Amino acid sequence: MSATFVGMPAFPTAARAALGDTQLRRNMAHATHTIREKRAAVVAEVEDWEDLRLAGAGVKEAALRDLATHLETLEASLTRAGATVHWARDAEEACAIVARITHAHGVDEVVKVKSMATAEIGLNEALEAEGIAAWETDLAELIVQLGDDLPSHILVPAIHRNRAEIREIFRRRMGDVGRAAPGGLTDDPTALAGAAREHLREKFLGAKVAVSGANFAVADSGTLVVVESEGNGRMCLTLPEVLISVVGIEKVVATWSDLDPMLRLLPRSSTGERMNPYTSTWSGVTPGDGPQEVHVVLLDNGRTRALADDVGRQALRCIRCSACLNVCPVYERTGGHAYGSVYPGPIGAILNPLLRGVEDEQTASLPYASSLCGACFEVCPVRIDIPSVLVDQRAAVVDSHRDDRVPKAEAVAMKAAAWAFSDSRRLAWAEKASGLGGRVLRRFGRTTLPGGRAAAGRLPGPGAGWTGARDLPAPPEESFRAWWDRTGGGQSEGGHS
């Protein structure tokens, strides 16, 4: 896979390019509307949906509050069950562990279950550098991989592709890496799924090593859980001799009973199903049944950093359902690539800065990729208050630039305002100056400053970004304080209390 998010521009630049792609916008609008309507229908069937959301949030929050204890319990339970547990502080360590295990078995390819954690750490690219081919077996991930593309959605990575585009990808690339697409392949969904099934079956039957993630990790029993819709996960988790699971440390829940609300919330919020077709659970090694060597890589990669953030830590409750993406007006219009990460949409706009910090321009732009409409919170099955975290991360972005040698225009404007507002005489002078400006604008027939929707053009320089999408009314000719002094508190104009 040659495509990479490395070097992606800041969100405004990437979004501007995406908005110009009419085919992308049609694809995104159709897909998000379809998923959104399916979710709404099945959620409406659950009378106590809000209680279920509260229960799910409670399970995740309780696990995060005592995360260290639960992780130690999970490690002990997995070890007792015959699994080998590895700890990875970052992406580099996690990738090195997977590569080392794979090399130890003398193989040059692995099959993969769809996994956000492995996409996050760039595992496919790291294995490729080690001479190991990692084959995606989820249909949408396969489309992305064969198309040398990038995922644009948490649940449906190829949501930006339509059926005709998928057919061309299959016809052009399948034969290069395995069983070729059948001649005369059409864009009928059944035909496309059949071509993928035949192509992947060879991969499943020939694989010695598989790599997975996990939706949940149950601490007291050492059980990992994968929820899926296609059955490819079940094949990867049972056929190969060796299974390596890369699991974010936030995936842990304390007990088996804690899975109850999670497995009711996830399918309705993600695929709009009452229950998912395949739920696979495994605990270590069972002699004669399934993989006989099991490794679990517990991944940090910024999660402890996010956990230390009093406001942002709630983002670690995320169960990767993607409901917030499907209702987000910004995501629907720009698609996922503009976010420059495997985590797009509202959750990506907070999760990426929390995991990586806001020091680089691309990540720092993400908290502003939102209208703050609040739709994401309303659909989140674990009640992550994404708008509040977005505002808090915007503050973090501002704070990160306070010591800049060359201050940003916004900082200069705020310092100028503070200087004026901190002294009554300076404020009075500023009011008189703005009033003079207002009289000049009105003399020339303007009621808004250049760039407002009622005026032509835009303010030059730093003001252009603000006035390009907002009205900026002309200053009043007379300030409130001047009016108050002139009228004696409004008495001379017939005012009354």
For residue range 454-465, list pLDDT tens digits in order. 443 455 555 666
Of 304, 328, 354, the one marking the end of a domain is: 304
| CB of 364 closer than 8 Å to CB of 353 | yes
Domain-embedded: residue 15: yes
Residue recorded with tokens 């059948």: 182
Q: Is the pLDDT of residue 471 over 80?
A: no
Q: What percent of the chain has pLDDT over 90?
A: 78
**Per-residue confidence (pLDDT) for residue 486, from 0 to 100:** 86
Instruction: For residues 229-258, give the mean pLDDT.
Output: 96
What local confidence, expressed as pLDDT, does residue 2 receive? 47
pLDDT beyond 70 at 117: yes
Q: Are residues 282 and 427 in the same domain?
A: no
Distance CA(305)–CA(312), nearest Å, equals 10
Per the CB < 8 A criterion, the answer to whether 435 and 476 are in contact is yes
Provide the CB-side half-sphere exposure for 410 (13 A, CA): 10
Residue 340 resides in a domain = no
Tens digits of per-residue pLDDT, 204-221? Answer: 999 999 999 999 999 999
The reported pLDDT for the residue numbered 489 is 82
- In degrees, rounded to 5, the angle at the alpha carbon of residue 154 between the alpha carbons of residues 149 and 160 is 45
The answer to whether residues 213 and 247 touch, using CB atoms and an 8 Å cutoff, is yes
Determine how β-strand 216-218 pairs with β-strand 252-253.
parallel
pLDDT band at 483 (very low <50, low <70, confident <90, very high): confident
- 289-313 pLDDT, tens digit per residue, is 999 999 999 999 999 999 999 999 9
Structural element, H or E, at residue 194: helix 189-206
CB proximity list for 24: less than 8 A, separation 6 or greater: 18, 160, 335
**Residue 433 in domain:** yes
CB-count burial class (<10 Å; 0-12, 13-18, 19+) for 176: exposed
Query: How many alpha carbons fall within 13 Å on the CB side of residue 110?
Result: 33
On whether the CB atoms of residues 46 and 52 are closer than 8 A, the answer is: yes
Q: Which pLDDT belongs to residue 449?
A: 54
Contacts of 479 (CB under 8 A, 6+ apart): 431, 432, 434, 435
pLDDT for 490: 78
> Of 250, 279, 304, which residue is a domain's last?
304
Residue 230 DSSP code:
S
Q: Could you write out the DSSP letters of every residue in 292-324? A: SEEEEEEE-TTHHHHHT-TTGGGGGG-----HH
Contact 265, 271 (CB under 8 A): no
pLDDT digits (tens, 9 = 90+) for 422-447: 998 898 888 888 878 777 766 765 55
143 pLDDT band (50/70/90 cuts)? very high
Q: How many domains does the chain have?
A: 2
Place of tokens 């229960």: 55
Domain boundary among 244, 275, 304: 304
DSSP state of 221: T
- pLDDT above 90 for 412: no
User: What average pLDDT score do residues 24-45 get?
Assistant: 94
CATH number at residue 216: 3.40.50.10420
Q: Is the pLDDT of residue 484 over 70?
A: yes
- What pLDDT is recorded for position 437? 75
In this predicted structure, what is the pLDDT of residue 457? Answer: 41
Query: Is 401 a domain residue?
Result: no
pLDDT of residue 497: 47
DSSP string, 428-496: HHHHHHHHHHHHHHHHTT-SB-BTBTTSSS--SGGGHHHHTSS--BPPPSS-HHHHHHHHTTTGGGT--
pLDDT value of residue 235: 95
The answer on 421 and 288 residing in a single domain is no
Residue 190's closest CA among 166, 212, 172, 174? 166
In a domain, residue 386? The reply is no
Asked if the structure places residue 460 within a domain, the reply is yes
Entry pTM: 0.88
- Are 59 and 251 spatial neighbours (Cβ–Cβ below 8 Å)? no
Domain containing residue 482: 411-487
Residue 119 DSSP label: H
Q: What is the pLDDT of residue 439?
A: 75
Place of tokens 């993406």: 325
* Residue 319, in any domain of the structure: no
* Residues 44 and 184 grouped into a single domain: yes
Give a yes or no: residue 1 inside a domain. Answer: no
pLDDT of amino acid 410:
78
Lowest mean pLDDT among 65-74, 90-99, 127-136, 444-453: 444-453
pLDDT in tens, 1-25: 446 677 789 999 999 999 999 999 9
What's the pLDDT tens digit per position in 342-361? 999 999 999 999 999 999 99
Q: Is the same domain home to 56 and 184?
A: yes
